[in-house]
Amino acid sequence: MSEATGGPAILVLEDGRVFHGRSFGAVGETFGEAVFNTGMTGYQETLTDPSYHRQIVVMTAPHIGNTGVNDDDPESGRIWVAGYVVREPARIPSNWRAERTLDEELRRQGVVGIALTGTRALTRHLRDRGAMRAAVSSVETDPKALLARVLEQPAMAGSDLAAEVSTDAPYEILPPEGVATRFHVAAVDLGIKAMTPQRLAERGCRVTVLPSSATAEDILALDPDGVFFSNGPGDPATADGPVAAMRGVLDAGTPLFGICFGNQILGRSLGLGTYKLRFGHRGVNQPVRDTRTTKVAITSQNHGFAVDAPLDEPFDTPYGRAEVSHIGLNDQVVEGLRLLDRPVFSVQFHPEAAAGPHDAAALFDEFCDLMSAQPAPAAKQ
């Protein structure tokens, strides 16, 4: 038994592999799906991204916490990762915005972490065998006892988690001062990152954020100029409610944009399947190719599932012809979808990303362009 942070800790994977390290953050025990993130920066955004709910995140960058923690960068009101694995936590963070250390923040929010020298071996293991259930504990010393508890945990495949992270009640984000309101967007929160409505508001959108349980009727009752479906945790195969809501929006012909989980929901709404990737895409340097322009963008990503769609040519859907708009260059995974005859598109990566490159930010302009191309409200009837 170890009481103090800094004492011994273990990480146990569901296939029985054990890693020994030192306790980091809160002392305790936690379970989740072990996944790795290759971002050299953006650890605050990662920790607070609701899509990481129920995941133990392994950072491949060797030093984490160098710039401390501030109150401006979080993507939501709390840390969502189930556990945090780093090679070496910064002992002396240095940044003018830092308000506390990462270790303090993890402890403040009760998030169990582990610092271990074997993050590279752990990452290679997850890359070869796939993301899998795991535990981190700084209170259990017997790996076998911990493994038995890991095997009792639910797998990520089949998990329906959006409702656990979504807002309880609708709220609004308004354009910043000096920016005129041009559009009203209804955004379905399946685990939305704060930066997304922000990016829309910067472009003159008044954004009404709705809970994940929002139906097509709830959404359309707002008479929005456009509808947005957010990122979020869990298996898209379980998201029947959001799929039904999106189908209602597609039937109504309202411009629609989806990010990440939203892209998977669009895939399902079009009748496509989704599947689990072996180890997923998580980081801020993922290359994708725009299939129309052949331009390559470096994107920020966080997904463990993907849409199964024909890559090479347009295909028929109940909503007309569609095509894969972006392809991941590391493994030829679908990274975006577009309807050819309707104002509807989505991407699997994160154009809002902060931290992350800004290559994909123009997609928010594209959504605004689709909304401006629609008939004015009077002509809508």
Ligand X SMILES: NC(=O)CC[C@H](N)C(=O)O
Annotated active-site positions, please?
260, 350, 352
325 binds ligand X per the rule CB under 6 A: no
CB burial readout 273-296, b (16+ within 10 A) else e: ebebeebbbbbbebebbebeeeee
**What number of chain residues touch ligand X (CB under 6 A)?**
12
- Report the residue number, 9 or 162, with the smaller CB distance to ligand X: 162
Query: Angle, nearest 10°, between helix axes 195-202 and 362-372?
Result: 60
Task: Tell me the DSSP string of 279-303.
Answer: EEEEEEEEEEEETTT--EEEEEEEE
- Residue of 305, 319, 349, 367 that binds ligand X (CB under 6 A): 305
183 is in an annotated binding site: no
Q: Are strands 8-13 and 132-137 parallel, antiparallel or unpaired?
A: antiparallel
> Are residues 69 and 101 in contact, defined by beta-carbon separation less than 8 angstroms?
yes
- Report the residue number, 87 or 303, with the smaller CB distance to ligand X: 303
- Report the residue number, 261 or 319, with the smaller CB distance to ligand X: 261
Name residues contacting ligand X, limited to 5-64 (CB under 6 A).
Answer: 51
Sequence-distant (≥ 6) Cβ neighbours of residue 223 within 8 angstroms:
184, 377
285 is in an annotated binding site: no
- Residue of 17, 54, 125, 303 that binds ligand X (CB under 6 A): 303
> Are residues 185 and 228 in contact, defined by beta-carbon separation less than 8 angstroms?
yes
- Residue of 21, 68, 233, 283 that binds ligand X (CB under 6 A): 233
What are phi and psi for residue 359, nearest 5 degrees? -50, -35
51 is in an annotated binding site: yes
- Residue of 89, 197, 234, 328 that binds ligand X (CB under 6 A): 234
302 is in an annotated binding site: yes
68 is in an annotated binding site: no
Instruction: Tell which residue, 161, 226, 231, has the closest CA to residue 192.
Output: 231
Instruction: Tell which residue, 321, 319, 338, 166, has the closest CA to residue 248.
Output: 319
- Residue of 260, 265, 272, 353 that binds ligand X (CB under 6 A): 260
- Report the residue number, 138 or 346, with the smaller CB distance to ligand X: 346
300 binds ligand X per the rule CB under 6 A: no
Segment lying near ligand X (by CB under 6 A), choices 2-10, 96-104, 144-152, 229-237: 229-237
- Alpha-carbon distance of 130 to 42, in angstroms, equals 24
Q: Least CB distance from residue 156 to ligand X, whole Å?
A: 8
- Alpha-carbon distance of 348 to 39, in angstroms, equals 17
Which residues of the chain form contacts with ligand X (CB under 6 A)? Answer: 51, 231-234, 236, 260-261, 302-305
Binding residues for L-glutamine: 51, 232, 234, 261, 264, 302, 304-305
